[in-house]
Amino acid sequence: MKSITIKGSERESVGKVSTKALRNAGLVPCVLYGGNQAVHFSAEVIAFKNLVYTPNAHTVVIELGNGKTFNAVLQDIQVHPVSDKILHIDFFQIHEDKEITMEVPVKIIGNSKGVMAGGDLRMNNRKLKVKALPKNLPDFVEADITPLDMGNKLYVTKVPTPNFKIMHPDNTVICQVKISRAAMKAAQEAAKAAKAPAKGKKK
């Protein structure tokens, strides 16, 4: 999985006053969990641009000015309900010998028979939770829709999972091909035409 580096500074004070001062200065207060003790730090808002505002999944290298470096993943983010401004971010430290769970996007490949016949591809899950050692975390889960015909569904059990586990029930649907209105109308008209008596034929 690709990694993003966040450069920040460890915080000495973690009270409400100092937190507000950080935000006013264009900084985001953060906390790193998963180690022997929580690490409080802050970083510039722009540092999170490629981590937060993207559909892709990344691990994070947190570099603090005191020489400390941590490998982590984004755990939780708080944003302002009106302005969408980042208020706070929680990270979780990762260790090479311990499995971790995180969400990764689904990548669709192939050409569905049902879609080519006029069906609509509906995405039920654009992201899936996976569990793996940090070195085995995938950038995405690859879902091949080639076998899907009209009305078919693609379940999580049908996608390859090399070196990682999908943390969803076996009946979880990734996507499905539904009959479109145009295809349904065409089928109805064809059925009517088949039932109608041929012209010039006596009843």
Tokens, residue 137: 């975390």
Q: Residue 83: its pLDDT value, please?
A: 87
The Cα 140–Cα 83 span in angstroms is 30
Q: Which residue has the tokens 């540092």?
A: 47
Q: Which residue has the tokens 């309900």?
A: 81
Homologous superfamily of the 1-93 domain (CATH) = Ribosomal Protein L25; Chain P (2.40.240.10)
Neighbours of 104 (CB within 10 A): 21
Domain limits of the chain? 1-93, 99-182
Q: Is residue 197 classed exposed, middle or buried when 0-12, 13-18 and 19+ CB atoms within 10 A define those classes?
A: exposed
CA–CA–CA angle 27, 30, 32 (5° rounding)? 150
Q: Residue 119: its pLDDT value, please?
A: 87
CATH T-level fold of 99-182: RNA Polymerase Alpha Subunit; Chain A, domain 2 (2.170.120)
Q: Residue 188: its pLDDT value, please?
A: 60
The Cα 173–Cα 123 span in angstroms is 9
Contact 45, 24 (CB under 8 A): no
Average pLDDT, the chain: 89
Mean pLDDT of 44-66: 90
DSSP 159: S
Mean pLDDT of 85-109: 94
Q: Residue 16: its pLDDT value, please?
A: 84
The Cα 162–Cα 139 span in angstroms is 12
The pLDDT of residue 55 is above 80: yes
Q: What is the pLDDT of residues 127-168, one digit of tens each?
A: 999 999 999 999 999 999 999 998 899 999 999 999 999 999
Contact 8, 62 (CB under 8 A): yes
Half-sphere exposure of 18 (CA within 13 A, CB side): 11
In this prediction, what percent of the chain has a pLDDT beyond 70?
89
Record the pTM: 0.78
- Going by pLDDT thresholds of 50, 70 and 90, the confidence category of residue 183 is low
Q: Residue 17: its pLDDT value, please?
A: 85
